[in-house]
Amino acid sequence: MASDAGGGERRRRRVLVFPLPFQGHINPMLQLACALHGRGGLSVTVLHTRFNAPDASRHPDLAFVKVPDGVPAAVAASGRVSEIILTMNAAMERDGEGALSPSVREVLASVVATEEGQPPVACLVIDAHLLAVQKAAAAVGIPTLVLRTGSAACHRCYLAYRMLVEKGYLPPKESQLYEPVKELPPLRVRDLVNTNDELVFELLARIAETVRNCYGVVINTFDELEPVELESIRGELGNDNIAFVLAIGPLHKLTSMSIGSSLNLSPDQSCIEWLDTQETGSVLYVSFGSLASIDSNELFEVACGLEKSGHPFLWVVRSDLVRGMNRACLPDGFESAVEDRGKIIQWAPQQEVLAHHAVGGFWTHAGWNSVFESICEGIPMICKPQFADQMINTRYVEAVWGVGFELVGKLERSKIEKVTRKLMGKNEGAEMRERAKHLKNKVSHCLKSDGSSQIAIDKLTPIRLCINE
């Protein structure tokens, strides 16, 4: 077998990937899988849990293998993300105790055992929340790379978890919320995590451990967007002997794969026809991602605020958007009152929506995929963060990139009317739009053949992945 970088013929390789089973994590992992398959001619196998299993029929080029996850139905249905992740990891770590049959280690061992015609496995790319999978991979001798599906700023912050506890920033105290975290500018205590939940702190500690035990890290961002944060991560992980930290985003632009939804949510394409009828830059797109929820009173306030704003809007109202309900009931008469300028759907083809000329602003929960997709299309944002990395993302949107602002405090109709006008209007809104356009240009540069993300992803295929020799 020739194995040089100088054009010699290489033996084909197989890469395994294992996403965390939530939409905002499955999408970027499958995008990476498709990018690797498309460029390196690598064969890619997706390992996935039964819980929130991706729809394999949408990805005919990839192989799929199911892994038992040990998440009881009641926990899966609870929607409590931290508990689901920790329960899954705990079951996977009880290897040899019959907790799962087959165990993750057994599944990995059987996938690695090279069947006739199957190329050998080079490595396993995991989500940083899957420490149990990393341990199982180590037991069968497979090196792991970590895909960070969040921003570099978030990654830097999570890596600093121990320092944040030692210096008293975490758990956050009510009296310190607006104090700066001087080691991680421009973050303030309130941006770190908005909870005292011990499960969340356990998750953060495990993420840091997973990253420090891996071979290399890839992050869904690009060098010109977060230069300071990436430099700091590279410095820190370099000391831990991590071979590389590559910024390879925006992943959704590196593959032509239509990811609409990897789960069984069908994007409602009728909204594109509706957008076609609207004026350029006039529509506010409103979506809170796949997990965030509100209560029925907040739903009412959002509806009334959008109505009062007078702006056209496209609003994603998921059936589980209202906490504890499996159907979201809008106020009586609302839909007919806004019939001529409002469109309500259950799930959007979001990337297509953000790229549509009619969309001029995005009200988002500030999940990283949503923020990054908005940046890629030059769309300014209103951010209403709830949990996880959403506060960090919001801080960067507002204080670093200047392409949006936070809707602070309670959801009230008058406030919603005001922020909608601010974002969509001619003064501050226009300045944010200008900066968003500038960022969009930077995205175009990093995607050119000599752009930073293209170079980074080329480094991944196939030489660096062939590490299990």
CB-wise, 373 or 377, nearer to ligand UDX?
373
Q: Is 9 exposed, middle or buried (0-12, 13-18, 19+ CB in 10 A)?
A: exposed
Q: Which of 49, 370, 374, 394 binds ligand UDX (CB under 6 A)?
A: 370
In which residue are the tokens 């605020």 written? 305
CA 316 to chain centre: 18
CB-wise, 138 or 411, nearer to ligand UDX?
411
Residues 374-403 that bind ligand UDX (CB under 6 A): 388-390
Residues 287-306 that bind ligand UDX (CB under 6 A): 287, 289-292
Q: Which of 31, 144, 232, 350 binds ligand UDX (CB under 6 A)?
A: 350
Q: Which of 348, 446, 457, 465 binds ligand UDX (CB under 6 A)?
A: 348
Please state whether beta strands 359-364 and 14-18 pair in parallel, antiparallel, or not at all (unpaired): unpaired
Residue 389 Cβ vs ligand UDX, minimum distance, rounded to whole Å: 5
Residues 262-291 that bind ligand UDX (CB under 6 A): 287, 289-291
State the Cα torsion 147-152-153-159 to the nearest 10°. Answer: 50
In which residue are the tokens 């995205």 written? 443
Residue 404 Cβ vs ligand UDX, minimum distance, rounded to whole Å: 14
> Measuring CA to CA, how many Å separate 21 from each of 81, 103, 162, 217, 267?
10, 18, 26, 19, 19
CB-wise, 243 or 291, nearer to ligand UDX?
291
Q: Which of 23, 144, 453, 461 binds ligand UDX (CB under 6 A)?
A: 23
CB-wise, 103 or 210, nearer to ligand UDX?
210
CB-wise, 43 or 221, nearer to ligand UDX?
221
What lies within 8 Å, CB to CB, of 429 at 6+ separation is 361, 380, 422, 423
Contact 257, 31 (CB under 8 A): yes
Binding region for ligand UDX (CB under 6 A) out of 20-28, 48-56, 92-100, 139-147: 20-28
158 counts as binding ligand UDX under rule CB under 6 A = no
Residue 350 Cβ vs ligand UDX, minimum distance, rounded to whole Å: 3
Residue 439 Cβ vs ligand UDX, minimum distance, rounded to whole Å: 17
R_g (Cα) of the chain, nearest Å: 22
Element (H, E) at 192: helix 189-192
Binding region for ligand UDX (CB under 6 A) out of 4-12, 127-135, 202-210, 344-352: 344-352
Of residues 50, 1, 44, 58, the one with CA closest to residue 21? 50
Number of residues forming the site for ligand UDX (CB under 6 A): 27
CB-wise, 103 or 351, nearer to ligand UDX?
351
Set 69, 127, 191, 389: catalytic member: 127
Q: Which of 367, 378, 429, 462 binds ligand UDX (CB under 6 A)?
A: 367
Contact 407, 383 (CB under 8 A): yes
CA separation for the pair 128, 310 (Å, rounded): 43
Q: Which of 201, 274, 315, 368 binds ligand UDX (CB under 6 A)?
A: 368
351 counts as binding ligand UDX under rule CB under 6 A = yes
37 belongs to the catalytic site: no
**N- to C-terminal Cα separation, the chain:** 12
What lies within 8 Å, CB to CB, of 415 at 6+ separation is 305, 407, 409
82 counts as binding ligand UDX under rule CB under 6 A = no
Q: Which of 40, 68, 150, 342 binds ligand UDX (CB under 6 A)?
A: 150
Set 25, 59, 129, 155: catalytic member: 25
Residue 367 Cβ vs ligand UDX, minimum distance, rounded to whole Å: 2
Contact 443, 422 (CB under 8 A): no
Element (H, E) at 123: strand 121-127
Helices (H), 213-266: 227-239
CB-wise, 194 or 213, nearer to ligand UDX?
194
What lies within 8 Å, CB to CB, of 322 at 6+ separation is 293, 294, 295, 296, 299, 328, 329
Residues 304-333 that bind ligand UDX (CB under 6 A): 316
CA separation for the pair 38, 447 (Å, rounded): 16
Q: Which of 347, 362, 363, 405 binds ligand UDX (CB under 6 A)?
A: 347
Of residues 355, 374, 372, 352, the one with CA closest to residue 363? 374
Binding region for ligand UDX (CB under 6 A) out of 19-27, 132-140, 355-363, 376-384: 19-27
Residues that bind ligand UDX (CB under 6 A): 22-25, 27, 149-150, 260-261, 287, 289-292, 316, 347-348, 350-351, 367-370, 373, 388-390
State the catalytic residues: 25, 127
